[in-house]
Structure 1
Amino acid sequence: MKNFTCQCGNTVYFANTKCLSCNRALGFVPEIVAISSFDNAADGAWVSHVNGLRYWPCTNYLNHHICNWVVEEGSQQSLCHSCSLTKTIPDLSRPHNMQLWFRMEQAKRRLLFTLMSLGLPIWEQRSNKPNLRFEFLEDVEEDEYGQELTVKSTVVTGHSNGMITLNLKEAEDSSRVMMREQMNERYRTLIGHFRHESGHFYWEWLIRGSVYLNTYRELFGDEREDYTASLQRYYESGPPMDWESQFISAYASAHSWEDWAESWAHYLHIIDTLDTAAQYGVSLETNEVVDPVDKTRGIDFDRLYADWCRLTTVLNALNRSMGLDDAYPFTIPPDALGKLRFIHNLIEQHR
């Protein structure tokens, strides 16, 4: 994730809404994929320091302070591009839901920034492709008096025809950690869910019916295998004994689509983390970390992966020094590495 600069020269960050140095309003401008500072016009519009254009804050900022993206003047929408993708928000009358919704939107915006930086379609529409949408739902049921009560595990996080559904409890740290323990997972984060589910969406855009389908099947397996039966078998019997020699995670062994989504998520982990390291000028063994979203040149996957291996070794060691779990608790076997290379080349060709 890149850092940005206010017009006063102060460093500002992706989630900021106000510069702490000059008190100017800050907002993310999707058209330029950057945070801008703004001056107020006489009619209340915000004038961008970066491009001089006029914007209005997103309605979700004005009403809830949930969002820091802006809407270009003349738009027919009062919601920004990010918030317009969310079709269902939590019930804000419930305690803590505002905070959980804020976390959901923060993670979603971080995902969108990475996707935009990689030049991937987000708001583009085609008649034969699904449109990207999100819904944030919570587990509820009615008691004998018809009153809603929060219960456990009725909303399933997943993707269907462009709609990414996330259980609101995934934004609740204690619930997510409990689920990670129950599922015997090495890693479970909110941004990880967004990245994984976006993989299912991009399979529809980049793989289905494309010239890459046969190569995909050679690497990930045949997606035509019964998905429901595959998942049932996985949850009943677990992954194969040798899964670590073929897959990036145990869940990736459940079905071809899950292998793709897990690999896609890991690739986005690599991109965002290396992007952050490059922005801070991190050097490993006297070599600066490569900027993975540099649009002026094609990035070699071998260089990307070499930097990733060195960086995660350092990150894990630092976490252990603080008594924390490894930041990246995975080993990438050769088969999984080939899948990451395929995704990298696919995205580079799309860009």
Structure 2
Amino acid sequence: MPVPNRVLTIAVFNEKSGWTLPDAHVTRIRDAAGPDTEVRTVRSRAELLEALPDTHELIGFPLGESELAEHAHNLRWIQLTGSVGDAFSALQYALSRGVRVSSAAGIRAPQCAEHVVMLLLALMRRLDIAVHAQTQRRWATAEIAPRVVDLEGAVVGIVAISVIGRAIAQRLKAFGVEIIATRPPGAHPGDDLVSVDEMMPDTDLRELMARSDAVVFATPFLPGSIDSIGKRELDHLKHGAILVDSSRGGIVQQSALVNALKSGRIAAAALDVFEHEPLPPDSPLWSMPNVIITPHVSSSSPRYWDRATEAACHNLQRLRDGRPLQGELTLELLGIEKTPA
């Protein structure tokens, strides 16, 4: 039997609920890792910190920067099981020290795109009014019909084209939509797709807002993105525009959004992410008639962990073969400069 020459640690768990990655998924990862790899699973943060000094490859990432600095001396590769999210600073630290990192944001793209299209159609066909009227047993034709907007022929702006933004654009194109989009910092022109009619630099955000009948925020987490959409940006929207936010909580300033909804600058909004989650009961968004709220579920899917495991297995095989990794992150892609080791 081959002697393991590397250690792979699977740190995919919810310590509060006691959930861990199912055994069948662990077996798939073990098979992909190969006989010369010792595969360990951990069920808590404490177990992870204990295992980390011997770990060369890590799947999952419930760690902070200080924990990496103190314990991850042998780490060579991290496979995330989602997007960058709140792990940004720790990942920046890892990348700056030569650790390779792969995102699994692509596994979220299909369901996130479906969720956005669903919300956009619901707002444009005023499903929000219909559902409210249904609870009152009220026939609301006269209220709904004048407010309906066609998706066909509309200009939809996507901020910004990432893997999820591309999936949204592909699906919207089937509705006869004109799609304009911004390209985030670090992205390359080769990332553009035929489903996007016009790509803009991120510096042209306000022009995109002014031209769009509906704006979708699918912005990846990048430095400076928090509170990047405030009153000045929202004031550039067409009067009566529609807004859908499935990006990251805090990118759109919530107070500015509420004011734009009250003034009619934004006719209606559908929101899946918020500055504070869960959304506090006293938030005015709960009672606004022109707002649809979903509780950060756009990436939910019964196949999520099947997809995450498949992504990890594919990258393990690529790593062993010396091939480029899928979803590999770089400091450039994250819009940051390398810091001295």
Normalised to the residue count of structure 1, the TM-score between the two structures is 0.23
Q: Which has the higher contact order (CA 8 A, sep 6+)?
A: 2
Normalised to the residue count of structure 2, the TM-score between the two structures is 0.24
